[in-house]
Amino acid sequence: MTDRGGLTDELPELVAAFVQEPSSPAARPLLDQVQRHVARASRSYPDAWFVLGRKDSEAVTDLGHRVFTTCAQVPKGRFPFSGRPPFVAFVHEQFEGRAIRYHAFYAKLSITREIMRDDYARNLVRDPVLRWRAELYRRIGQVLKERCESERVGEGQPPRWRLPGGRPSVARAPEVVVARLRQEGPRELPELVLRALELGGPQSQSRLTGIVEGVRGAPAVEAPPEPVESAPDHPTRMLVRRAVLEAWTALSETERDLLVSVARGDSYDELVARCPHFAHKVAVTRAISRVGQGFVHRVLLASSAELPATPGARPLELVELVLEVLLQVLPELHAGLPEGDRP
Amino acid sequence: MSRKEYERLFEGGPPQEGEEDAMVELLSLFARAAGLRRAARDLAEEELLEGAFVEEEPSQELAPVRLAAHDAGELAMYAAGPFRLRLSRDDDGTAWLCQEEGPAGLTVELGERRLPLSPEREVEAGAMGSLPAAIRAWDAAGRRWRLVRE
């Protein structure tokens, strides 16, 4: 055991014993330590960052189990894991307890926080109020790209956006900017974004989203719609999966390229960077028409025809289910996606 | 034209009449769902990188005992008017700033950086060789302050 000023640190030895023999008696106390640190690292997060959008003991315990499983079994490409499951990397690198806790729980990019990020991203799509926030973020992004300038602020930090042409701005705390904007009365979104930058100085897109949300207020909470289904092996998902695979094989390479970009939500610039032939108008027109008819319509028809039990599930919910299945079943889509979007 | 045609997929539009247009409309529905999913992923990633809700590792449990004498020269208080700031520096040279007294809305200037503060919330102030004799700041009304080391 590591001696740290008279205190002992069992964590490195528990991890080592578990990696050597997963069924060893070390597994239980190791899981207990993981649960304890996950609970501590996640305590400042709001509901939206937890699975099903609820922060309760069940959700925190579930998170702890997923952190444990990820550390034990899921190879991670980034530093310091280099393609190894985190527990294995901790043993190989002979990390002391403090370093293990840092990378597994407390670092800004820890395993725990990455899993929470993925839960939050899912909630942003599924919860009606959070969905409004994601849509607001998207629309603010359009305003920023069209009317503002971005600047990089450092490694591992999102870009900051500033007013064009070096227009002056003052740095103020976000709550002060929100209060000022409320006083000044309602504005259209583009003007609100520019004024927020003028009052608060350069901001990231997510902080601007928080400011605009603070000014306008999120919509009232509605009852969430009934889920189409969620179990991975549910027959609905199997039907959609089959329809997706059949329709995919009917597409040409060019059409698949377009579908991949659409499904990933790529911008036009990202599409052309990946597939330069889409710089020509005719290529886009043809592919859009063919993918609309040969894939989306075909999959929806095939799925709908066999889905008498889910009459309320279309078209939008069914489209989202198709999208989810598509992202899971086509390995071509996974290249270049963050780890959290991979099955 | 290609750009507009592609980007229109993600914006949507009024329902179309012809069969081919209806197919494109379906693809547009698909694209809008994908666009929202992308926005959700980007927003979550950005908030992660911003360090939203990140607290420092609670270290009481395992950190070695630290004597008050060890902190000499690594921590200083700055004050002016209603404001009082605490500036501390880690062993690795990273500085941390916390507004201990005074109303919200204070922004401090440290070299090239401007840091908005919130009362009683510690923020990272970057690498710092030595603690300065004074700190310049603005309050919420835009008034300038010079907080002097106590």
Interface-testing mutation among B1, B2, B61, B94, with chain A (most A C-beta atoms within 10 A): B2
Mean pLDDT of all residues in A219-241: 62
Domain co-membership, B44 together with B72: no
Q: Do A204 and B105 touch (CB under 8 A)?
A: no
CB nearest to B30's CB, from A106, A268, A319: A319
Tokens (6 digits) for B51? 């360090």
Q: Do A341 and B107 touch (CB under 8 A)?
A: no
Tokens (6 digits) for A144? 């920023």
Residue B94 β-bridge partners: B127
Neighbours of A133 (CB within 10 A): 23
The CATH number given to whatever domain includes residue B99 is: 2.60.40
Q: How far is B69 from chain A (nearest CA, A)?
A: 17
Residue B56 lies in a domain: no
pLDDT digits (tens, 9 = 90+) for B83-113: 889 888 877 777 888 888 888 888 888 877 7
Closest CA to A321 of A263, A265, A247: A263
Mean pLDDT of all residues in A22-32: 94
Mean pLDDT of all residues in A124-147: 93
Give pLDDT, residue A61: 96
Domain co-membership, B75 together with B144: yes
Distance CA A129, CA A224 (A): 9
Residue B55 lies in a domain: no
Domain co-membership, B97 together with B45: no
Domains: count for chain B: 2
Q: Do B27 and A285 touch (CB under 8 A)?
A: no
pLDDT digits (tens, 9 = 90+) for A180-193: 999 999 999 999 99
Domain co-membership, B90 together with B28: no
ipTM of predicted assembly, 2 dp: 0.84
Residue B61 lies in a domain: no
Domain co-membership, B84 together with B133: yes
Distance CA A231, CA A228 (A): 10
Q: Do B107 and A170 touch (CB under 8 A)?
A: yes
Name the residue type at position B6: Y
Distance CA B105, CA B139 (A): 6
Q: Do A173 and B140 touch (CB under 8 A)?
A: yes
Give pLDDT, residue A71: 97
Give pLDDT, residue A234: 61
Closest CA to A64 of A37, A100, A82, A90: A37
The residue among B11 and A43 whose pLDDT is bigger is A43
CA nearest to B11 within chain A: A139
Distance CA A150, CA A203 (A): 9
DSSP result, A111-162 = HHHHHHHHHHHHHHHHSHHHHHHHHHHHHHHHHHHHH-EEE--STTSPPEEE
B111: left (phi over 0), alpha (psi -120 to 50) or beta: left
Helix residue spans in chain A (DSSP H): 11-20, 27-41, 57-73, 86-92, 97-101, 111-126, 128-147, 174-184, 189-200, 205-216, 235-249, 253-264, 268-274, 281-291, 298-305, 316-329, 331-334
Mean pLDDT of all residues in A61-80: 94
Asked whether the predicted pLDDT for residue B13 surpasses 70, the reply is no
Domain co-membership, B32 together with B89: no
Give pLDDT, residue A229: 46
- Overall pTM surpassing 0.95 (yes/no): no
Segments forming the whole domain that contains residue B42? 2-50
Q: How far is CA A240 from the centre of its chain?
A: 23
- Please report which confidence band the pLDDT of residue A231 belongs to, taking 50, 70 and 90 as the band edges: very low
Tokens (6 digits) for A83? 């393609």
Q: How far is CA A182 from the centre of its chain?
A: 30
- What residue segments make up the domains of chain A, in order of their start? 2-124, 128-216, 235-341
**Least trusted range by pLDDT, from A6-20, A164-178, A275-289, B49-63:** B49-63
Assess contact for B26 and A299: CB atoms under 8 A: no
Q: Do A292 and B54 touch (CB under 8 A)?
A: no
Residue B120 lies in a domain: yes
Distance CA A45, CA B54 (A): 8
Give pLDDT, residue A5: 45
Residue B108 lies in a domain: yes
Distance CA A302, CA A246 (A): 10
Chain A CB contacts of B31 below 8 Å: 262, 265
Give pLDDT, residue B89: 81
DSSP result, A226-270 = PPS---TT-HHHHHHHHHHHHHHHTS-HHHHHHHHHHHHT--HHH
Give pLDDT, residue B17: 59
CA nearest to A283 within chain B: B2
Domain co-membership, B8 together with B81: no
Mean pLDDT of all residues in A94-116: 94
